[in-house]
Amino acid sequence: MQPLTFADVTVERVVEAEGPGFAPGFLLPDSDLDLIAAERDWLEPHFFDPATERLIQSQHTFVVRTPHHTILVDTCVGNDKDRPSSKAWHHMDTPYLEKLGALGLAPEAVDFVLCTHLHVDHVGWNTRLEDGRWVPTFPNAKYLFHREEMAFWEEHGDYVGQGYGASDGFYEDSVLPVMAAGQGVLVAGDHAIDDRLRLEPTPGHSPGHVVMHLDSGEGRAVFSGDMLHHPIQVAQPTWNSRYCWDPEMSAAARSAFVERHTDSEVTILAAHFAAPTAGRIVSAGSRRRFQV
Ligand SMILES: [Zn+2]
């Protein structure tokens, strides 16, 4: 993704991993290959790999700089984490911090970390391993967690499996150490971070999922987390991912989100859309597509 500028706010992306991954039927159990084929004219080449028939996805962090603050949105899987449920995520070793450094960003300079929700691929770099202990990666940051999302994981943090987000211990190694260090802040779902950025509660994919709106006065964007996992869901908003917590609520929230942003000026910045990542939802007759 090219760096984006919304008046005095900039947005950049740090990629942890990217490429063809899931077969459509795995990530999106309700999906239909014929209906996907009908959208391949715009899904290729960025979002669908014809050679493997796999969805192309990414996991990344958005780096947002306003005149007041530097904010990271979602922190991927992280290095060294024990993730036996996923071969690709088990004990990852990527140059994520070096990539942040290449943007001129030292860990100490991050003011806020926002996790749109507490799933294993959105919290990983909250912490890093130091002398055998998990410590906050960003020592001066406040980590913002939606109160309702936290309440859910306080009860289900030891859950292992794939329904409502594979856990594999992320709550213990990537959330609790942040709270223990006094850097976690529980916020309401409509919390305003500053005069450019505010949250909106969007439960469904998880109980306390939030999106973050950017309004610079001269340009708007929405960091949509896992409201949409893949651009095909712009065309088929009722297709849930296998990791959605409440299927009905998730499909309804996604459908309303797509409807509201169709043909709007708002740039959509989703947590797993592969490069070039940023785009808008546009209509063409009765069809909708994601235009990069
Ligand atoms: Zn995710």
Cα 232 to averaged position of ligand 1 atoms, centre (Å): 16
DSSP 166: -
**Cα dihedral angle (87, 91, 95, 97), rounded to 10 degrees?**
130
pLDDT tens, residue by residue, 103-123: 999 999 999 999 999 999 999
Cα 98 to averaged position of ligand 1 atoms, centre (Å): 22
Confidence band for 289, pLDDT divided at 50, 70 and 90: very high
Q: What is the pTM of this model?
A: 0.96
Cα 285 to averaged position of ligand 1 atoms, centre (Å): 31
Per-residue pLDDT, averaged over 53-78, amounts to 97
The 10 Å Cβ neighbour count of residue 87 is 7
Cα 42 to averaged position of ligand 1 atoms, centre (Å): 23
In this predicted structure, what is the pLDDT of residue 159?
Answer: 64
> How many structural domains comprise the chain?
1
Is residue 163 over pLDDT 60? no
Cα 122 to averaged position of ligand 1 atoms, centre (Å): 6
DSSP letters for 2-52: --EEETTEEEEEEEEEEEE---HHHH-TT--HHHHHTTHHHHTTTTEETTT
Confidence band for 276, pLDDT divided at 50, 70 and 90: very high
Domain CATH for 211 = 3.60.15.10
Confidence band for 156, pLDDT divided at 50, 70 and 90: confident
Q: Which residue in 68, 88, 76 sits closest to 14, CA to CA?
A: 76
Cα 225 to averaged position of ligand 1 atoms, centre (Å): 7
Q: Which residues surround ligand 1, an ion (CB under 5 A)?
A: 121, 226
* Domain membership of residue 267 as a residue range: 4-291
Confidence band for 155, pLDDT divided at 50, 70 and 90: confident
